[in-house]
Amino acid sequence: MNIIISHDVDHLYTCEHWRKDLIMEKHLVRSGLQVLRGDINTRVFLYRVASVFQHRYCRIPEIMEFDAKHQIPSTFFFGMGNTLGMSYTQEQALPWIQKVREAGFYAGVHAADITSAESIQKEHNDFKRICPNYTFGTRVHYVRYDDITLQRLATAGYLYDTTEFSKETFSLKQPYQIIASNGNRMWEFPLHLMDSYVLEKDVKNAIQKVSSLLRQAEQSGSLFFTFLFHDVYFNEKTYPEWIAFYKWFVSACEEAGHHFISYHQAIKMLEDAQRAAERIHQQSI
């Protein structure tokens, strides 16, 4: 099976949130409640309090180092706009996009404003300006989409999207193509696994659930499995269980002999197969 890993970059620095949103305040309140309930220990709680006073909040360098060691060609989605706690500017994102690409990883757009075709097009064009001569995909910030959103993303010119996600049950829906009214073709890769939907409490429980999901995917002959892990949780001090889950997932895939590939590689496989099928079809006429 081919495993595609991506990372939503929701935050870069703590200061981008000051007087702009309540992300840091909410982070402290949530962590306070978690320590009171016994979901996290005091040491983790204190590290989380300390993290609010540090400059960098993202964990891009750390997760890139890990992914590189495990030959995972992951994709990082960067916001070109601000909404729902994503508050950094394009200027702040630019050097990180360059770092990710220079290190051999992939970058795409973490779509923010999906209220109109124009706003979707603007974010696409802004990224295109930053990364000319580069094909890229997108993932909408938070699980917000409908058929019109996907059509608009295709119209805007994205190569692929990986927003579709089933919140209630695990779904192993495989990639399919969306053809926009202007003729653009976009691959939709439904997302199969998102960190925050399995990890809220107990890592052992999450490992059990995801082990059986991976088995189910193998048995059903799924060609692709998509997993989103937010880089901010790749932190031994503040999210020890989350980082442990990520490392477990990678080693479980390695042990099972799965391949880590990028969306770009997956699209090449899908389009090669499409062309081969067309050739066979023409020969049989």
**List of residues contacting Zn ion (CB under 5 A):** 8, 10, 141
When the beta carbons of 10 and 195 are compared against Zn ion, the nearer one is 10
For the bound state, the minimum distance from the C-beta of residue 10 to Zn ion, rounded and expressed in Å, comes to 4
When the beta carbons of 79 and 175 are compared against Zn ion, the nearer one is 79
* Bridge partners (DSSP) listed for residue 78: 9, 109
For the bound state, the minimum distance from the C-beta of residue 9 to Zn ion, rounded and expressed in Å, comes to 8
When the beta carbons of 105 and 165 are compared against Zn ion, the nearer one is 165
Q: Please say whether the dihedral angle defined by the alpha carbons of residues 236, 239, 245 and 249, taken in this order, is positive or negative.
A: negative
User: 130 — phi, psi (to 5°)?
Assistant: -70, -40
Cβ neighbours of residue 171 closer than 8 Å, sequence gap 6 or more:
165, 190, 192
**Gap between the Cα atoms of 235 and 243, Å rounded:** 6
∠ at Cα 141 (136, 147), nearest 5°?
A: 80
When the beta carbons of 59 and 141 are compared against Zn ion, the nearer one is 141
For the bound state, the minimum distance from the C-beta of residue 141 to Zn ion, rounded and expressed in Å, comes to 4
Burial of 220 by CB count in 10 Å (0-12 exposed, 13-18 middle, 19+ buried)?
Answer: exposed
When the beta carbons of 24 and 214 are compared against Zn ion, the nearer one is 24
For the bound state, the minimum distance from the C-beta of residue 203 to Zn ion, rounded and expressed in Å, comes to 22
Residue number of the CB atom closest to Zn ion: 141
Cβ neighbours of residue 187 closer than 8 Å, sequence gap 6 or more:
137, 159, 160, 161, 175, 176, 177, 178, 263, 266, 267, 270
For the bound state, the minimum distance from the C-beta of residue 178 to Zn ion, rounded and expressed in Å, comes to 21
